[in-house]
């Protein structure tokens, strides 16, 4: 079978790219190894409950009618009306460090006033940083790379405030330890602080259903349980893929959302480049509570916390670093109705290699892997109690996923949620006809991932000619 384009992976970027291509009558297939779509952002049922994976919140929130923002760009490119997304904004969230807490919401003024209150000497610098972020064009794919911390330090001289600004931005998108690329910092600062959080009533499955429906209606083909074993090349040009089943599909263009090192491996590249391997993976605990979190006195939608004065965003030496993390109360979005389950989710940075080495026996709660999960679940819950009231007596049911789970369901090496520290902004791999989309192209978050698929599909397939003059 020959296609105009083959897309590897039915996550946000793959589906969005697929919609664009199908909409313009390209013959396109999206190949997904698993029996469910969504990639990093998916969903599952567990003991009769519906859980989301990945998505705490959609970042980049913009109300209907807001101009020139990533969300409105996405809606137009996929021909989706704002109300179809069913977005409900957060109440407020917080960054919580020892002895200091900064609230923020989808109204940027709240964060600014919190900085002025807690760090009065820093507020002019914070304003200047905000201006620098607003003025930077993160869509310029050819801008020179620079580190974010030196730039931020020009404006912010208090290291605690610096870490408090970095903490949410790193947790929600950084594939690098300790620092971020400046352009990624800008993307995340805008998407989290200047735009904000929202969520559909039904969570990520609602967004995925919209994308799948749109894709199928446009005539796109989706194949589940169709893992790609190899990318086929001919004279330095990608010409198709071989599936796990041995079946061969050919195409003019291959768009891969598998990740950078993963795509290299599919090409059979000899060189395993350790520097490109992402080191940041996570555990997430999901606790089902017997009443809404706000009835336990938890007001925030999301809390980014550190129990240490200086926040360390790095692969921990032990299984999990429970001294920092993200606490999400999905029921504290301003939803029209309380979700059926009252969830509290805690995300912590974790060490893939240590989890991968644990002996695991299916359905055996005494195996090393299951015991470690139990132990770290308890530690993770205990270490958030400096930030929220003790919710533990109200927990009815628990699930937890680990870096190993992430590796299994996303195919990302080392369970690296945000992929490789190296991003290919233009998508070009050095192999003609093969382009990277999604996380490792470098647009972040759900909206970012979808825009990545869109812009790469436009640039490398649809856009045969340059942009119209402004």
Partner 1 sequence: MTDEQIRQAIIGIISDIAPDEDTGNIDPAVRLREQLDLDSMDFLDIVMELRKRYGVHVPDTDYMQLATLDSCVNYLRDKMAGKALVS
Q: Contact positions toward partner 1, by CB under 8 A?
A: 24-25, 64-65, 67-68, 72-73, 75-77, 79-82, 454-455, 458, 462-463, 465-470
**Minimum distance between the CB of residue 76 and partner 1, rounded to whole angstroms?**
5
Measured CA to CA, the distance from residue 32 to residue 145 in angstroms comes to 33
Q: Which is nearer to partner 1, 70 or 89 (CB)?
A: 70
**Minimum distance between the CB of residue 8 and partner 1, rounded to whole angstroms?**
24
Q: Which is nearer to partner 1, 65 or 120 (CB)?
A: 65
**Minimum distance between the CB of residue 456 and partner 1, rounded to whole angstroms?**
12
Q: Which is nearer to partner 1, 47 or 81 (CB)?
A: 81
**Minimum distance between the CB of residue 65 and partner 1, rounded to whole angstroms?**
6
Query: Is residue 65 left, alpha or beta, with left meaning phi > 0 and alpha meaning psi from -120 to 50?
Result: left
Residues facing 434 on adjacent strands: 254
Q: Which is nearer to partner 1, 113 or 458 (CB)?
A: 458
Q: Which is nearer to partner 1, 195 or 264 (CB)?
A: 195
Picking from 53, 76, 54, the residue whose alpha carbon sits closest to that of residue 66 is 76
- CA 440 distance to own-chain centroid: 11
Picking from 259, 299, 190, the residue whose alpha carbon sits closest to that of residue 416 is 259
Q: Which is nearer to partner 1, 187 or 343 (CB)?
A: 187
How distant, in Å, are the alpha carbons of 11, 12, 184, 297, 413 from that of 259? Answer: 12, 13, 17, 41, 8
**Minimum distance between the CB of residue 202 and partner 1, rounded to whole angstroms?**
21
Q: Which is nearer to partner 1, 366 or 470 (CB)?
A: 470
DSSP 279: -
Q: Which is nearer to partner 1, 80 or 367 (CB)?
A: 80
Q: State the DSSP string of 381-412.
A: HHTTTTTS---GGGEEEEEEE-HHHHHHHH--
**Minimum distance between the CB of residue 211 and partner 1, rounded to whole angstroms?**
16
Q: Which is nearer to partner 1, 47 or 67 (CB)?
A: 67
Question: 36, exposed or middle or buried, with CB in 10 Å at 0-12, 13-18, 19+?
Answer: middle
Extract the tokens encoding 273. 């480049």
**Minimum distance between the CB of residue 310 and partner 1, rounded to whole angstroms?**
41
At residue 147, the 3 state secondary structure works out as strand
Residues facing 444 on adjacent strands: none
**Minimum distance between the CB of residue 81 and partner 1, rounded to whole angstroms?**
5
Picking from 41, 54, 57, the residue whose alpha carbon sits closest to that of residue 303 is 57
**Minimum distance between the CB of residue 181 and partner 1, rounded to whole angstroms?**
23
Measured CA to CA, the distance from residue 406 to residue 283 in angstroms comes to 9
The residues, ordered by sequence, that sit 6+ positions from 52 with a Cβ below 8 Å of its Cβ are 41, 42, 43, 203, 204, 205, 330
């Amino acid at each position: 079978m020959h296609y105009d384009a083959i897309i590897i992976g039915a996550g946000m970027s793959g589906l969005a790219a697929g919609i664009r291509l199908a909409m313009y009558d390209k013959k396109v297939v999206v190949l997904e190894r698993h029996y469910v779509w969504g990639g990093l952002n998916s969903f599952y049922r567990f003991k009769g409950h519906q859980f989301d994976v990945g998505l705490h919140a959609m970042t980049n929130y913009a109300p209907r009618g807001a101009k020139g923002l990533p969300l409105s760009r996405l809606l137009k490119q996929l021909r989706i009306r704002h109300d179809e997304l069913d977005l409900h904004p957060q109440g407020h969230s917080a960054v919580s460090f020892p002895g200091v807490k900064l609230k923020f919401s989808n109204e940027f003024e709240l964060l600014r006033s919190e900085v002025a209150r807690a760090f009065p000497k820093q507020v002019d610098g914070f304003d200047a940083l905000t201006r620098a972020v607003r003025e930077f064009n993160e869509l310029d794919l050819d801008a020179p790379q620079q580190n974010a911390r030196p730039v931020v330090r020009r404006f912010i001289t208090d290291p605690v405030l610096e870490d408090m600004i970095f903490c949410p931005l790193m947790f929600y998108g950084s594939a690098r330890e300790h620092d971020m690329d400046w352009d990624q910092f800008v993307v995340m600062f805008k998407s989290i602080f200047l735009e904000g959080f929202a969520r559909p009533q039904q969570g990520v499955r609602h967004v995925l259903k919209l994308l799948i429906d749109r894709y199928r209606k446009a005539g796109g083909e989706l194949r589940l349980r169709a893992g790609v074993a190899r990318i086929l090349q001919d004279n330095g040009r990608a010409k198709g893929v071989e599936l796990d089943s041995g079946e061969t599909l050919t195409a003019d263009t291959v768009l891969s959302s598998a990740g950078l090192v993963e795509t290299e491996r599919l090409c059979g590249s000899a060189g395993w480049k350790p520097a490109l391997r992402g080191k940041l993976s996570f555990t997430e605990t999901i606790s089902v509570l017997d009443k809404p979190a706000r009835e336990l006195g938890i007001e925030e939608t999301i809390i980014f916390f550190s129990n240490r004065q200086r926040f360390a965003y790095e692969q921990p030496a032990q299984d999990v670093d429970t001294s920092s993390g993200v606490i999400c109360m999905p029921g504290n979005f301003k939803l029209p109705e309380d979700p059926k389950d009252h969830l509290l989710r805690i995300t912590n940075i974790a060490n893939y290699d240590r989890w991968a080495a644990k002996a695991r026996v299916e359905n055996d709660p005494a195996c090393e892997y299951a015991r470690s999960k139990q132990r770290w679940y308890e530690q993770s819950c205990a270490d958030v109690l400096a930030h929220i009231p003790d919710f533990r007596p109200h927990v009815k049911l628990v699930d937890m996923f680990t870096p190993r789970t992430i590796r299994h369901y996303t195919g990302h090496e080392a369970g690296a949620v945000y992929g490789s520290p190296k991003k290919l902004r233009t998508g070009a791999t050095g192999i003609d006809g093969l382009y990277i989309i999604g996380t490792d192209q470098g647009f972040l978050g759900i909206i970012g991932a979808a825009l990545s698929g869109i812009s790469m599909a436009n640039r490398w397939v649809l856009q045969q000619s340059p942009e119209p003059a402004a």
